[in-house]
Amino acid sequence: MTNQEVEKYRRPVRILHWVHSGAFVVLFLTGLVLFIPQLAFLAEDSWTRLIHRIGAAIFIIVPLLYLVINPKAAVRGVKMAFTWGIADMEWLRAAPRYYFLGDEKAMPPQGSLNSGQKMWWFLTIVCGVVFILTGLVMWFARTAAPAALLQWMIFLHAVVFIVAGAMFFLHLYLGVFHPLMTEAWKAMATGKISAEYAREHHGKWYEEVSKSKEQPAK
């Protein structure tokens, strides 16, 4: 059964992921200009600000759309990010050896999202919300909001930018470049991963999926 494949991510999730991450990349790059003065020429005449706002609109609207179209899955997904157990702690302890040395002895079997992915997912939600709230204030309440509030909005926006930006690199790296994460990319690109990869990397989830093969998770 080495060629057997299981569906990891359904199409709506994948579309959500790619559109949202596309928006994030746009937002990230247009925001990065503020941190790298040498790139400021790109921002002249505020074109990056226009692009940033278009990106922001997508960044806000797409998850909301998903929420409207598939509320159950959305709620389940969000819940997942906030559900942490002992296994997750073990995973975090074992992760460095695994990711550097490929030593997976201590790694507990993982669900659909391993603890690392869950951490990323958690940060995506928290940072996303902070981004959106602070961004909306800066966008629409610039004249109405008191200067001090605005300042802290700018500050928070920048803080989450750093956090999310750093984590984004990690996510990109693990998803695309890390030698062991061979199929993570495929999972999000095509939706399917090999059963072997699923068993190795998401053991717990694979068991569940195998049990209810006829009914993949919604």
Instruction: For residue 102, state whether it binds other proteins (rule: CB under 8 A).
Output: yes
Instruction: For residue 86, state whether it binds other proteins (rule: CB under 8 A).
Output: no
CB of 85 to other proteins, least distance (A): 26
- Cβ-proximal residues to 31 (8 Å cutoff; 6+ apart), any chain: 52, 161
Q: Rounded to an integer, what distance in angstroms lies between the CA atom of residue 55 and that of residue 32? A: 14
Give 25 or 217: the residue with its C-beta nearer to other proteins.
25
Instruction: For residue 25, state whether it binds other proteins (rule: CB under 8 A).
Output: no
Stretch that binds other proteins, among 42-50, 68-76, 124-132, 210-218 (CB under 8 A): 42-50
Size of the site for other proteins (CB under 8 A): 45
Q: Name residue, tokens 């999926």.
A: 209
Give 48 or 115: the residue with its C-beta nearer to other proteins.
48
Instruction: For residue 117, state whether it binds other proteins (rule: CB under 8 A).
Output: no
Instruction: For residue 44, state whether it binds other proteins (rule: CB under 8 A).
Output: yes
Instruction: For residue 106, state whether it binds other proteins (rule: CB under 8 A).
Output: no
CB of 43 to other proteins, least distance (A): 4
Instruction: For residue 99, state whether it binds other proteins (rule: CB under 8 A).
Output: yes
Q: Rounded to an integer, what distance in angstroms lies between the CA atom of residue 215 and that of residue 218? A: 8
Among residues 173, 207, 216, 217, the one that binds other proteins under rule CB under 8 A = 173
Q: Rounded to an integer, what distance in angstroms lies between the CA atom of residue 132 and that of residue 55? A: 11
CB of 153 to other proteins, least distance (A): 9
CB of 157 to other proteins, least distance (A): 10
Instruction: For residue 201, state whether it binds other proteins (rule: CB under 8 A).
Output: no
Instruction: For residue 62, state whether it binds other proteins (rule: CB under 8 A).
Output: no
Query: Is the CA virtual torsion 185, 119, 96, 202 positive or negative?
Result: negative
- Cβ-proximal residues to 64 (8 Å cutoff; 6+ apart), any chain: none
| Site residues (vs other proteins, CB under 8 A) | 33-35, 37, 40-41, 43-50, 52-53, 99-102, 138-140, 142, 147-148, 150-152, 154-155, 158-159, 161-163, 165-166, 169-170, 173, 177-180
